[in-house]
Amino acid sequence: MTKTIFIATAEPYSGKSIVALGLIHVLLGKAQKIGYFKPIINYDAEQEKDSHIETIISHFGLPVSYNDTYAYTQRQAQQLIEAGNQGEIIDTIISKFKKLEENYDFTVIEGSDFLGEGTAFEFDANVTIAKNLGAPVIIVVSGEEKTNEQILTAVKTIKRNFRAREVQVLAVIANKVKPEQAFEVQRLLENYLSPNIILGVIPEDKDLKSPTMKEVHEILGGKLMFGEQQLSNQADHFIMGAMQVPNFLNHIKENVLIVTPGDRGDIILSALQANMSVNYPKVAGIVLTGKFEPDEPIVRLIDGLQMVVPIISVKFGSFHTATMVGNIKSRITPDNNKKIQLAINTFKKYVNLQALDERLVTYKSEGMTPHMFQYQLVKWAKSTKKHIVLPEGNDDRILRAAARLINQDIVNLTILGDTLEIAASVKRLSLNLDLSKINIVDPLKSEHFEDYVYTLLELRKSKGLQYQMASDMMSDVSYFGTMMVYKGHADGMVSGAVHTTLHTIRPALQFIKTKPDVSVVSSVFFMCLPDRVSVFGDCAVNPNPTAEQLAEIAISSADSSQRFGIEPRVAMLSYSSGTSGEGADVDKVRKATELVKQKRPDLKVEGPIQYDAAVDPVTGKQKLPNSEVAGRASVLIFPDLNTGNNTYKAVQRETGALAIGPMLQGLNKPVNDLSRGCTVEDIFNTVVITAIQSQEKQPAQTEKATLLATN
């Protein structure tokens, strides 16, 4: 059984970071603890950290320190090579890796970048490390500026070196291949490689290749005069601004970087005006050359504009600056979540994950970590793609989350709001969001508006609702979005980033209503703790439920737990365990527990029980030694809203746990509420669970297996 995999290349800028990001993302859905190791790095940690290592650690939250991820810097390794101590390098690398490997279920090793001296030794060291660790290898070859035959030759050469040392080649990935070459490269490599070697051909993608303005600024140096907030802009190409304005404007393309002398105020102002115009593409930034800066009146004018692209002044001449810009090699950095997500999605799109999974004999954990849970959620949501409506299109967080959801192809979306305002916001936020892939609806202009009004009149006629009031109500985005769900024009709704909980769920209570066997709408949070995922209910809706309502909440929460792949072991929480306590509050929990047992004898349930006895195996065994739940509870039911809401927030803040929810349960169709302080991540996760709720079949059934959450 292998617990490691080695990503190898024999050339610089092969794009193996895409493979590393994608591979770790996939592995985190299957194992609890993933380690990462890069034997030789190019940067001295005292001067500059390796941005790729920092990206890997921070994005995935890997429990490994930066200093543990490598053995030598390139400079240190070169000094030992010059002293004839190559053997010492290999021994130290293997020793350090073995110590690291002991702490993880699976470890990804990434080979050298080949950016400095001693590259021949680095490649040999990579082969030796893979051989000594018994790690299968994924070979990455760059297709940039190569013919089809040159790509094939590169694959043959590196594969031959690994096979000569009896190192198993698990997969070959040809990266940065020109799209028009991809088919032929695929054919050539398929004919050369044996069938048991997985092949991936990844076309060149300008969104991964192009640098951000932050990278341009860091590499060129100089003075950032304006546009600090837009440094994430991506520069897909550049032009020289040395011609007359009409001719210059004809050369502007999407995400262009403009290089122009600093005294060309006409070019600077026309570029900024074009960026603000709906008739011209977006400008990435401007680099001013020759030590010149714009005259004071122009600086004052620019300073008064609402949205200014990054403007950088450098000391170099225009030709030298253009050469430097052309030589920039973009890196995926920790702060560029857009590129990280694109890299992960690219890997998943062009690499056969099922074949890779079958070839890798990985450690299978019985527990479910947050990464495993989130990975599984997205997978389930994609299995049957659903249509979700987001009523709050005027909120930037909603649009940022929508971009992630659409780019990962998880759901279909309708966003309520004004089309022009949403388009302007997407441009202002520099979002990679194709508006043609979402449905934008202004309720008052919708072709369904009158039908929705009359439907509401019919549903609420017993309440004396009149046409004008129904029309006013339907102009509210919460009512309109909920009616979309009711009429089947959307499968679910997520709202509450701007509106209150009552504003969000009132329409659902009025006409979507509860399921036939449910009398109370309740909620759960999925609490993603460091080593497990627990279900907390009810922490958002019912202030002081009766024993009957508490039993119903417990049953609904257990069903939600089961539906989302977590084996339900239900703890009915109180301030005492077993028969030790007395009082009205304990009696309510005791009665609720008995009702659960009567209604659902198939469920494992314990109550009353204290929180520590529910989750800690030692305490649970001491207080309730014969319980199936004590010490192993996965579903924790709180006796009232005061206790539940405070507990989930305390656990979230004190442990750093990710709280996904609240997810409403008991409604005929899914409507979920957000906190007005929600993050983009909260919105993303809530849409995903809403999509899963709306699927006819349970995701655990479609997977034909249930992942169990244990303590």
Burial (CB < 10 A; 0-12, 13-18, 19+), residue 629, is buried
371 within some domain: no
Q: How does DSSP assign 154-196, residue by residue?
A: HHHHHHHHHHHTT--EEEEEEEEE-GGGHHHHHHHHHHHS-TT
CATH number at residue 29: 3.40.50.300
Question: What is the separation of C-alpha 236 from the centre of its chain, rounded to a whole number of angstroms?
Answer: 24
Q: How many CB atoms lie within 10 A of CB 49?
A: 14
Q: Per-residue pLDDT tens for 320-331?
A: 999 999 888 888
689 within some domain: no
Q: Comparing C-alpha atoms, which of 358, 333, 329, 328 is closest to residue 343?
A: 333
Cα-based distances in Å from 32 to 158, 310, 532: 32, 42, 9
Q: Which of 212-221, 231-240, 275-284, 528-537 has the lowest mean pLDDT?
A: 528-537
Residues 132, 135, 140, CA angle at the centre, nearest 5°?
A: 120
Q: Per-residue pLDDT tens for 606-628?
A: 989 999 999 999 999 999 998 99
Report the interhelical angle of 51-60 vs 337-350 (nearest 10°): 80
Same domain, 165 and 60: yes
Contacts of 705 (CB under 8 A, 6+ apart): none
Same domain, 557 and 620: yes
Overall domain count for the chain: 4
Decide if pLDDT at 699 tops 50: no
Q: How many CB atoms lie within 10 A of CB 309?
A: 24
DSSP code, position 211: P
If you average pLDDT over residues 176-188, what whole number do you get? 94
Position 480: which residue type?
Answer: F
From 506, 539, 554, give the residue that closes a domain. Answer: 506
If you average pLDDT over residues 178-183, what whole number do you get? 94
Question: Which tokens belong to 643?
Answer: 């206790």
Per-residue pLDDT at 485:
95
Q: Per-residue pLDDT tens for 387-441?
A: 999 999 999 999 999 998 998 899 999 999 999 999 999 988 888 888 999 999 9
Same domain, 559 and 412: no
676 within some domain: no
Same domain, 229 and 199: no
Per-residue pLDDT at 370:
67
CB neighbour burial string for 79-97, b if at least 16 within 10 angstroms, e if fewer: ebbeeeebeebbebbbebb
Q: Rounded CA gap, 92 and 72, in Å? A: 9
Tell me what percent of the residues of the chain surpass a pLDDT of 70. 94
Same domain, 23 and 151: yes
Report phi then psi at 553, rounded to 5: -60, -40
If you average pLDDT over residues 461-481, what whole number do you get? 91
> Judging by DSSP bridges, how do beta strands 137-142 and 106-110 pair with one another?
unpaired
Q: Which of 81-95, 203-217, 241-255, 455-469 has the lowest mean pLDDT?
A: 81-95
681 within some domain: no
Same domain, 18 and 138: yes
DSSP code, position 510: I
Domain residue limits at 404: 388-490+500-506
Same domain, 485 and 588: no
Position 398: which residue type?
Answer: I
> Judging by DSSP bridges, how do beta strands 223-226 and 311-313 pair with one another?
antiparallel
Decide if pLDDT at 702 tops 50: no
Q: Rounded CA gap, 156 and 158, in Å? A: 6
CATH number at residue 307: 3.40.1390.20
Q: Per-residue pLDDT tens for 116-174?
A: 555 667 788 788 888 877 788 999 999 998 999 999 999 999 999 888 877 889 999 99
Q: How many CB atoms lie within 10 A of CB 669?
A: 19
Same domain, 481 and 562: no
How far is it between the farthest Cα atoms of the chain? 92
67 within some domain: yes
683 within some domain: no
If you average pLDDT over residues 658-671, what whole number do you get? 90
Same domain, 197 and 262: no
How far apart are the two ends of the chain, measured CA to CA in Å? 25
Question: Which tokens belong to 205?
Answer: 């993608």
CATH number at residue 471: 3.40.50.10950
If you average pLDDT over residues 648-676, what whole number do you get? 89
151 within some domain: yes
Q: Rounded CA gap, 532 and 528, in Å? A: 6
Q: What is the pTM of this model?
A: 0.69
Decide if pLDDT at 114 tops 90: no
Sign (positive or negative) of CA dihedral 394, 397, 400, 401:
negative
Q: Rounded CA gap, 600 and 608, in Å? A: 17
Q: Rounded CA gap, 284 and 235, in Å? A: 5
Percent of the chain that is helix, strand, coil (3-state, to 5): 45, 15, 35
Tell me what percent of the residues of the chain surpass a pLDDT of 90. 54
Q: Rounded CA gap, 21 and 60, in Å? A: 9
Q: Per-residue pLDDT tens for 195-213?
A: 889 999 999 998 888 899 9
CATH number at residue 580: 3.40.50.10750
Report the interhelical angle of 680-693 vs 396-407 (nearest 10°): 60
Report phi then psi at 222, rounded to 5: 80, -170
671 within some domain: no
Same domain, 156 and 230: no
Cis peptide before 608 (omega within 30 of 0): yes
Q: Rounded CA gap, 15 and 644, in Å? A: 47
Q: Rounded CA gap, 613 and 447, in Å? A: 57
Q: Per-residue pLDDT tens for 28-51?
A: 888 778 999 998 888 776 667 888
Q: Rounded CA gap, 689 and 326, in Å? A: 44
Q: Are 595 and 643 in contact (CB under 8 A)?
A: no
Sign (positive or negative) of CA dihedral 257, 262, 264, 265:
positive
Contacts of 424 (CB under 8 A, 6+ apart): none
Q: Are 555 and 585 in contact (CB under 8 A)?
A: no
Same domain, 149 and 295: no
Question: Which tokens belong to 578?
Answer: 């077993």
Q: Comparing C-alpha atoms, which of 447, 435, 217 is closest to residue 325?
A: 217
Same domain, 246 and 200: no
Decide if pLDDT at 451 tops 60: yes
Across all residues in the chain, what is the average pLDDT?
A: 88
